[in-house]
A and B are shown apart, each in its own frame.
Chain A
Amino acid sequence: MNDTGGTAAVDTRIAIQLTDIVKRFPGVVANDGVNLTVHEGTVHAIVGENGAGKSTLMKTLYGAHQPNEGTITVEGAEVRFSSPKDAIAAGIGMVFQAFLLAANLTVWENVVLGQEPGSALSLNAKQARRRIRELGEQYGLEVDPDALISDLGVGDKQRVEILKVLYRGAKILILDEPTAVLVPQEVDALFASLRDLTSSGATVIFISHKLDEVLKHADAITVIRQGKTVGELPDPSEVTSRQLAELMVGSELPVPEIGESTVTDVPVLELKNLTVAGDDEGVRNPLDDISFTVHRGEIVGIAGVEGNGQSELVEAIVGLASSTGTMLLDDVDIARLSTRERRDSGIGYIAEDRQKDGLVLPFSLWENAALGHQHRPPYGRGPWLDIRGAKAKTEEIVEEFDVRTPGIEVAAFTLSGGNQQKLVVGREMTADPKVLIAAHPTRGVDVGAQAVIWDILRDARADGLGTILVSADLEELIGLSDRLLVMLRGKVVAEVDPKTVTPAELGSYMTGAKTGTH
Chain B
Amino acid sequence: MSFTIDATDVGTDRRSPFADNRLRIVFLVTLGMAVMSTARLIADNDDLTSSGTFGVALRTAAPIGLAGLAGLVAERSGTINIGIEGMMVMGTIFAGWWGWEFGPWMALVGGIVGGMLGGLLMSLATTTFGVNHIVAGVAINLIAPGVARFMASELFVGVQGGSVTSSPGNRGDIGEFTMPFLSGGDLFGWQTPDILGWLEDTGWFLVADFAGLGKGLTTSVTWDVVLAVSLFFGVAYLLWHTALGLRLRFAGERPSAADSLGVSVHTMRYVGMAFSGGFAGMGGAVLVLFANRYQENQVAGRGFLGLATMIFGNWMPAGTAAGAGIFGYAQGITLRTNPGDLVRALLLAAAIGLAVTAFWMGYRQSWRGVGWLLAFAIVAFWAYFSAERPNNQLVFVTPYVVTLIAVSIGAQRLRPPAEEGIPWFKGMQ
Contact = CB atoms under 8 A, between A and B. Distances in A.
Direct contact between the two chains A and B in their complex (CB within 8 A): yes
Interface of A: 84-85, 88, 98, 100-106, 109-110, 112-116, 118, 120-123, 125, 146, 148, 164
Given A88-B262, A113-B258, A121 B253 contact: no
Given A103-B418, A116-B243, A120-B242, A110 B257 contact: yes
Interface string B9-49: 00001110000000000000000000000000000000000
B8 to A, nearest CB: 11
Contacts of B249: 102, 105
Nearest to B258: A113
29 contacts: A84-B262, A85-B262, A88-B262, A100-B254, A100-B256, A102-B249, A102-B250, A102-B253, A102-B254, A102-B418, A103-B253, A103-B254, A103-B418, A105-B249, A105-B250, A106-B15, A112-B246, A113-B246, A113-B247, A114-B247, A114-B261, A115-B261, A118-B243, A121-B242, A122-B241, A123-B243, A125-B241, A146-B15, A148-B14
B319 interface: no
Interface string B405-418: 00000000001011
Nearest to A117: B243
Most buried by B among A109, A112, A122, A123: A123
Contacts of A106: 15
A104 B15 CA distance: 10
B418 A113 contact: no
Contacts of B245: 123
B253 A123 contact: no
Contacts of A100: 254, 256-257, 260
A121 B243 CA distance: 8
Given A103-B254, A110-B257, 16 more contacts: A84-B260, A85-B262, A102-B250, A102-B418, A103-B418, A104-B253, A105-B250, A105-B253, A106-B15, A109-B246, A113-B257, A113-B263, A114-B262, A122-B241, A123-B241, A164-B261
Contacts of B243: 116, 118, 120, 123
Contact of A102 (B244, B257, B429): B257
Contacts of A122: 241-242
A114 to B, nearest CB: 4
A110 B260 CA distance: 12
Contacts of B415: 104
A103 B419 CA distance: 11
Interface string B385-429: 000000000000000000000000000000101100000000001
- By Cβ-Cβ distance, the 5 closest A-B pairs, closest first, are A114-B261, A116-B243, A102-B254, A102-B253, A100-B257
B31 to A, nearest CB: 28
A89 to B, nearest CB: 10
A324 B250 CA distance: 38
Nearest to A109: B246
A422 B351 CA distance: 61
B261 A113 contact: yes
A116 to B, nearest CB: 4
Contacts of B256: 100
A23 to B, nearest CB: 16
A88 B259 CA distance: 13
B242 A123 contact: yes
B254 A101 contact: yes
Nearest to A112: B246
Contact of B263 (A103, A104, A114, A120): A114
A96 to B, nearest CB: 8
B257 A101 contact: yes
B363 to A, nearest CB: 23
B150 to A, nearest CB: 38
Nearest to B254: A102
Contacts of A109: 246
A104 B256 CA distance: 15
A103 B250 CA distance: 10
A148 B253 CA distance: 13
Interface in B233-280: 241-247, 249-250, 253-254, 256-258, 260-263
A116 B359 CA distance: 49
Nearest to B16: A125
Contacts of A105: 249-250, 253
Contacts of B417: 104
A114 B263 CA distance: 6
A98 B257 CA distance: 11
Nearest to A64: B260
A82 B241 CA distance: 32
Contacts of A84: 260, 262
Contacts of A118: 243
B246 A116 contact: yes
Nearest to A83: B262
Contacts of A121: 242
A113 B242 contact: no
Contacts of A101: 254, 257
B415 to A, nearest CB: 7
A98 B429 CA distance: 9
Contacts of A88: 262
B268 to A, nearest CB: 11
B244 A120 contact: yes
A107 to B, nearest CB: 12
Contacts of B254: 100-103
A94 B256 CA distance: 14
Nearest to A85: B262
Given A104-B13, A104-B253, A114 B418 contact: no
B246 A123 contact: yes
Contacts of B247: 113-114
A113 B241 contact: no
A118 to B, nearest CB: 7
A256 B15 CA distance: 55
A84 B258 CA distance: 12
A282 B24 CA distance: 25
B78 to A, nearest CB: 11
Contacts of A112: 246
B113 to A, nearest CB: 24
A12 to B, nearest CB: 30
B237 to A, nearest CB: 9
Contacts of B13: 104
A127 to B, nearest CB: 12
Nearest to A110: B257
Contacts of B258: 113-114
Interface in B173-194: none
A168 to B, nearest CB: 8
B253 to A, nearest CB: 4
Contacts of B246: 109, 112-113, 116, 123
A102 B246 CA distance: 11
A320 to B, nearest CB: 22
A163 B72 CA distance: 31
A392 to B, nearest CB: 36
Interface in B115-147: none
A199 B169 CA distance: 76
B254 to A, nearest CB: 4
Contacts of B262: 84-85, 88, 114
A127 B363 CA distance: 46
Contacts of B257: 100-102, 110, 113
A304 B342 CA distance: 65
B29 to A, nearest CB: 27
A477 B429 CA distance: 29
A101 B241 CA distance: 19
A146 to B, nearest CB: 8
Of A98, A102, A106, A164, most buried by chain B (CB within 10 Å of CB) is A102
A121 B238 CA distance: 8
Nearest to A164: B261
> Which residue among A84, A105, A121 has the maximum number of chain B CB atoms within 10 Å of its CB?
A105
Nearest to B253: A102
A368 B242 CA distance: 49
A61 to B, nearest CB: 15
A154 B261 CA distance: 21
Contacts of A110: 257
